[in-house]
Chains A and B, each alone.
Chain A
Amino acid sequence: MNMIKLENITKIYPPDIKALYRVNLHIKPGEFVSLVGQSGTGKTTLVKILIGEERPSQGRIVVGGWDITDIGQAEVPVLRRQIGVVFQDFKLLHRKTLFENVCFALQVCGEPSSKINNIVPQVLKIVGLENKMRRYPLEVSGGEQQRTVIARALVHRPKILLADEPTGNLDSINADEIIEILQKINKFGTTVLLVTHNREVVNKLRKRVITIENGMIVGDQAVGKYIL
């Protein structure tokens, strides 16, 4: 069984811009996959399709055994609670503390406060933010913000973690820390899909690499390198 299965996925934006063309992709549970490619090649479109933000023009998509090809608007929040997502621009709520940002992901699901107060400090400890949880996002560094985002993505204990350019706004030290955390999460059994164009990061990982160019998959190596 695959954790992520894309069959002939095509995404066309009006009038006739092909962001993705006949993409076939299978990712097994527990895999750590890097999706690489230059800017504008369709990587982010693929992420948007995986989280239900965009619908494919053609093809079929199954995530964790759930066919989300024609997912309804009301089901999107349910899908997003099962996939952890990390973005380049962090996407934290600036008027909530780091603790509240992580809590929020559980509160929207209606989780009881006792459970939230138990889990959130643990997750923040995993990403090394146990001493800064009462601070607001703008009071901490970019690396710490990104670690908060990872913590928020983890609180649901997701089967899949999508990281879209998570090191894009970070210096090399912070970037390494983030990749280490992603690897640690992967070791716990979570499937990680890392979308990046950071050659150094990909080469250091020595994991599966899928290369995308002009909306099409042009390479898939079990232990790959950044070849573009």
Chain B
Amino acid sequence: MFLLSILRVIKFSLQDFWRNIWLSVVTILILVLALLSVNLLLVVKVLGSTAIDAVKEKVDISLYLRSEAPENRIFTLKDRISGLDSVKEVNYISKQTAIENFRDKHKNNQDMMLALSELGNNPLSPSLVIKPKEVDNYDELIVSLNTIDDQIIESRNFDDHKAMLAKINNITDKASRAGLIISLFFVLITVLVVYNTVRVAIYTHKREIGIMKLVGASTWFIRAPYLISGIVYALLGVSAVIIILYPLLSLIQPYLANFFSGFEINILTYYNNSFIKIFGLEILAVILINFLASLVAVGKYSKV
């Protein structure tokens, strides 16, 4: 008997969905718009995080060495620094590489090139470019570097880096906080939109709910078709979002790759890797909101 009731509830739900096709279409349309907004926000968040990571990736510390430092001692120092926990990698920039980089960087600056040729010899020092494992652990790295005592080290003033990193961390923290607040705000609006859409959809059935109660339908028998409809809305809505979103992402991906050139950014890959997580959560969230809305609305209109 219970199975029979379940089958009847599913039948009534699909029948109602079809016989109220315009109301169903409008409900799904609003759902799609709300979900597209959420996904748009997610794309912006992913891009924001990538941009922040890209900036952090650029952060490194240069340890300048004495010009006359023999290379074997430099390599020993390099290995020693590479062994530190907070160090991701250490690159050695020789005097020759440094001057080549300098020339390349300032090749269009005539005054700079003239001044360099007047000096006659290579004025630049060799250096070790150190990349920290985590930008947040920058202080720890500085402390570790300060403990290394080696005669070939010429300069170990890290104050400029510290200030710059503090700024970066400050900006990224603020960006994360602002992103979180905007996300919460956006999600709240979406929840309210979906919740009220479902309530309005049920409101149009107010008279029918009353009649069902009058002929002896239990509250479960009245409520269940709306829950089934909610699942159908969620599945169709999210499917529509997937159909709309993927071509859209494919369209913007080349522009994103160009904008973030030099960094690994592929929003399509991100969506592919998190497909179940993103769209599964969206389906569950819509079903949950629908459940709450129908619980309140049906309860309200079935008090006869």
Chain A residues with a Cβ under 8 A of chain B: 51, 53, 73-74, 76-81, 85, 87, 91-95, 104-105, 107-110, 112-113, 152, 156
- Knowing A80-B216, A108-B218, the reply to whether A92 touches B304 (Cβ < 8 A) is no
The residues of A that contact B219 with a CB separation of less than 8 Å are 73
In contact, A108 and B216 (Cβ under 8 angstroms):
yes
B88 at the interface (CB under 8 A from A): no
Known A-B contacts: A80-B214, A108-B212, A112-B4. Give 4 more (CB < 8 A). A80-B216, A95-B20, A107-B8, A110-B2
Q: In the docked arrangement, what's the CA distance between A104 and B214, Å?
A: 11
Q: Number of residues in B with C-beta < 8 Å to the partner?
A: 22
The residues of B that contact A53 with a CB separation of less than 8 Å are 304
A76 smallest CB distance to B (angstroms): 8
B208 at the interface (CB under 8 A from A): yes
In contact, B1 and A105 (Cβ under 8 angstroms):
no
B243 at the interface (CB under 8 A from A): no
A108 smallest CB distance to B (angstroms): 4
Q: In the docked arrangement, what's the CA distance between A78 and B217, Å?
A: 9
The residues of A that contact B208 with a CB separation of less than 8 Å are 93-95
In contact, A91 and B214 (Cβ under 8 angstroms):
yes
* Selected contact of A51 from candidates B4, B8, B214, B217, CB within 8 Å: B214
> Chain A residue with minimal CB distance to B16?
A95
The residues of A that contact B212 with a CB separation of less than 8 Å are 93, 104, 108
**16 pairs, A vs B, C-beta closer than 8 Å:** A76-B213, A81-B216, A87-B214, A91-B210, A91-B211, A93-B212, A95-B15, A95-B16, A104-B215, A104-B217, A105-B216, A108-B215, A109-B216, A110-B4, A110-B5, A156-B216
B277 at the interface (CB under 8 A from A): no
The residues of B that contact A156 with a CB separation of less than 8 Å are 216
Q: In the docked arrangement, what's the CA distance between A73 and B20, Å?
A: 30
The residues of B that contact A105 with a CB separation of less than 8 Å are 215-216
B58 at the interface (CB under 8 A from A): no
B203 at the interface (CB under 8 A from A): no
Q: In the docked arrangement, what's the CA distance between A130 and B118, Å?
A: 112
Q: In the docked arrangement, what's the CA distance between A111 and B211, Å?
A: 19
B279 at the interface (CB under 8 A from A): no
A150 smallest CB distance to B (angstroms): 13
Interface residues of B in 189-211 (CB under 8 A from A): 208, 210-211
A118 smallest CB distance to B (angstroms): 16
Q: In the docked arrangement, what's the CA distance between A109 and B211, Å?
A: 15
Q: In the docked arrangement, what's the CA distance between A77 and B19, Å?
A: 26
The residues of B that contact A73 with a CB separation of less than 8 Å are 219
The residues of A that contact B304 with a CB separation of less than 8 Å are 53
B260 at the interface (CB under 8 A from A): no
In contact, A108 and B221 (Cβ under 8 angstroms):
yes
B5 smallest CB distance to A (angstroms): 5
B2 smallest CB distance to A (angstroms): 8
